[in-house]
Homo-oligomer: A and B are copies of this chain.
Amino acid sequence: MTTFVSEAESAALVDDELALAAAREAFLATGTGQTFPVVIGNSSLPHNRFTLKSGSAGDLVGVKIGSFWPDNTELPRHSSTIVLLDPATGRLRAVVEAAAANAYRTAAADALAVDALARKDSRTLTIIGTGHQALHEVRAVSRVRPIERVFVVGRRPDAAKTFAAQVTAVTGMTAEPTDARTGVAEADVLVTATTSREPLFDASWVAPGTHISAMGADGPGKQELPVAIYDRARLFCDLPEQSTTIGEFQHAQAAVPVALGSVLAGDADGRTSPEDVTVFDSSGFALQDLTLAAALLHRRFGEHE
């Protein structure tokens, strides 16, 4: 029998804890699981795009269909549908709509990276980007580090001001809009969550000891970080082969990023000193979606889903 979890159900089921556990499981599986080439397609209108990310690990096998319809006004522009196949028969096992849950999933990857790589005493978080994903990132990071102060950097001053007020209202933390240079220089943890196609700041503004999570780049041409940062940073990512083709590291000629999963498994070093600049690039991989769907199904239906 096929199981279906609607958008309304998954949005009600998901929380930070579920997403973080699912993300940890996915990152730990990157060594043994498989991911297959990402497809980027579109509807008859070329600006309406979808991506197919598929993979398998353990008893999970399936695909996430992500869509980005920029003209949506009533509905969110991003949607997400995760399809799981039955590992025993190859037949359809479950369909999970996960547009809201997808934002938790992405932020959970950031939280895992910050927890593994940022200084334990990180108290200042700067977020570049004021879109839907940004608040999820602030919440997820502040769960794993004693963040006291949030700087918000946005292209539009009014959006940055509004978003800072929202951060304070939701989290109770002090949050204020600022310029990119100040925000970058003050950050213990710097998160970029934009759709940018060019560097958002100058590498020279980054202080020693900073951790940077680049969450936005997930396609050809997208870029958030200055390439000059790569010479003085330790580089990490979710999937090296994907990060260097469609992620941030597509712009770093000789970059050999380390899989975060290897750090989490204790097979690779993370931060080695308080002075290290660490960079994590998230391009998003199928195993995150498969473990998220399994976690939602488990929460909805219990052990015997």
Contact = CB atoms under 8 A, between A and B. Distances in A.
Contact of A83 (B56, B61, B77, B83): B83
Given A50-B61, A72-B90, A2 B2 contact: no
A25 to B, nearest CB: 14
Contacts of A195: none
Interface string A41-83: 1111100101010111111010101011100100101010101
Interface stretch (A91-99, A232-240, A241-249): A91-99
B41 A36 contact: yes
Contacts of A87: 43-45, 48
B44 A40 contact: no
Contact of A50 (B4, B72, B85): B85
B43 A85 contact: yes
Contacts of A54: 39, 41, 50, 52
Contact of A2 (B52, B85, B88, B97): B97
A248 to B, nearest CB: 23
Nearest to A49: B90
A273 interface: no
A253 interface: no
Contacts of A59: 44
Given A56-B41, A56-B42, A89 B69 contact: yes
A37 interface: yes
A83 B81 contact: yes
A75 B52 contact: no
Query: In the complex, which of the residues A7, A40, A45, A85 has the most CB atoms of chain B within 10 Å of its own CB atom?
Result: A85
A39 B286 CA distance: 13
A81 B95 CA distance: 11
Contacts of A83: 65, 81, 83, 95
A44 B72 contact: no
A220 B90 CA distance: 21
Nearest to A41: B36
A174 interface: no
Contact of A39 (B2, B7, B52): B52
A196 interface: no
Given A36-B41, A41-B56, A63-B65, 16 more contacts: A2-B4, A2-B95, A7-B91, A33-B44, A36-B40, A36-B52, A39-B39, A42-B56, A44-B58, A44-B61, A52-B54, A65-B83, A65-B92, A79-B85, A79-B91, A81-B92
30 contacts: A2-B4, A2-B95, A7-B92, A34-B42, A36-B41, A36-B52, A39-B54, A41-B55, A41-B56, A42-B56, A43-B85, A43-B87, A44-B56, A48-B90, A50-B61, A50-B85, A52-B54, A65-B83, A65-B85, A68-B90, A69-B89, A69-B90, A72-B89, A72-B90, A77-B90, A79-B89, A81-B92, A83-B95, A91-B99, A92-B95
The 3 closest A-B pairs by CB, nearest first: A67-B90, A69-B90, A36-B41
